[in-house]
Amino acid sequence: MSASLGRAAAALLRWGRGASGGVLPGAGVRAASSGAGGGGQAEQLDAMVKKDKVVVFLKGTPEQPQCGFSNAVVQILRLHGVRDYAAYNVLDDPELRQGIKDYSNWPTIPQVFLNGEFVGGCDILLQMHQNGDLVEELKKLGIRSALLDEKTDQDSK
Amino acid sequence: MLSAPLGRRLAPMATRACVSRAGAAGPAAAGSVEATIRAKLEQALSPEVLELRNESGGHAVPPGSETHFRVAVVSARFEGLSPLQRHRLVHEALAEELAGPVHALAIQARTPAQWRENPQLDTSPPCLGGSKKTRGTP
């Protein structure tokens, strides 16, 4: 399942040359497309990171990550029950791979954006997950972390 | 907790994840990238503690590579800085290496007080194979 789905999602993720509209690959994670349009590289990336509340740039896809650090980002989002987020696979597009590093002034992948703002990579997201900051940041975006619901369940038993 | 199960899987991954690529050359002197990273971080951040680990052996790169590192930097310079700001300081110090041989850098940037609460270098998640199409670029 995941290989063909990954390719389909990757085709839609073709940066700067993508088809419009999105496809739901199954788990509610949108295969985000950047859409056609003019403007420079920075403007396009700016639009991409602002279009969705949670945007991540990964090596691989959420269904099939190809890097342990990218996978860690996917797993953290899954733990928090964040199902609707834009995921861009940099392995499919060398221009995107370099472009996002220039845009964020950050040398590595994965990269996480919340509400259009660059938050950091895997280490920072993990730190935010461990110290409770991620729950708070998601709350600000109107996303209720699944971990809050788990806690509530435990409290009421 | 996320890191514990990942940490347990790391050891077996280290032996099976290392894929040799024919024709790839290693660094000129063993450990030279590691030595450079250490020197630059010491100069830039005057750390109280600097723990650096070459994790390349756990990834799909040739033996002897110096491409994947994990570093714990403990410095008073980090006081009052957000995690993002701290990481950017580390990146600045290692700009050349990150534009060059270093493909991945896991960073723990702590103040001395934070380090005393938890004085250890974490482990990285296991490699999932990386890029199959491109090579050499982070």
Does pLDDT of A13 surpass 50? no
Closest-CA distance of chain B to residue A106, Å: 8
CB contact under 8 A, A91 and B129: no
User: If you count DSSP H runs as helices and E runs as strands, how many of each does chain A have, helices first?
Assistant: 7, 4
Cross-chain CB nearest to B91 (options A65, A91, A107)? A107
Nearest residue of A to residue B98, measured between CA atoms: A107
**CA atoms of A93 and A76, how far apart (whole Å):** 25
Name the nearest CA neighbour of A85 among A122, A114, A42, A121.
A114
Number of Cα atoms under 13 Å in the Cβ half of residue A30: 16
**CA atoms of A105 and B88, how far apart (whole Å):** 9
Instruction: Give residues with Cβ within 8 angstroms of A131, minimum separation 6.
Output: none
**CA atoms of A18 and A154, how far apart (whole Å):** 45
Residue with tokens 């995107």: A96
Residue B96 · residue B137 · CB < 8 Å: no
Q: Chain B contacts of A67, Cβ < 8 Å?
A: 127-130
Q: In Å, what is the CA distance from A149 to each residue of A4, A143, B2?
A: 34, 12, 18
pLDDT digits (tens, 9 = 90+) for A65-124: 999 999 999 999 999 999 999 999 999 999 999 999 999 999 999 999 999 999 999 999
CB-based contact, A91 to chain B, within 8 Å: yes
What is the SS3 assignment for A65?
Answer: strand
Predicted local confidence at residue A33, as pLDDT: 47
Strands of the sheet with B49-54, listed across from one edge: B49-54, B68-74, B104-110
Interface of B with A in 78-107 (CB under 8 A): 83-84, 87-88, 91, 95, 98-99, 104-107
pLDDT digits (tens, 9 = 90+) for A15-66: 333 333 333 333 445 445 444 444 589 999 999 999 999 999 999 999 999 9
- Show the domains of chain B with their CATH numbers: 47-121 (3.30.300.90)
**In this structure, what is the dihedral angle of CA atoms B3, B6, B8, B13, given to the nearest 10 degrees?**
-150
Name the nearest CA neighbour of B2 among A53, A99, A30, A125.
A125
CB-based contact, A131 to chain B, within 8 Å: no
CB contact under 8 A, B99 and A107: yes
Q: Which residues of chain B have pLDDT under 70?
A: 1-30, 132-138
Share of chain A above pLDDT 70, in %: 71
Residue B17 · residue B132 · CB < 8 Å: no
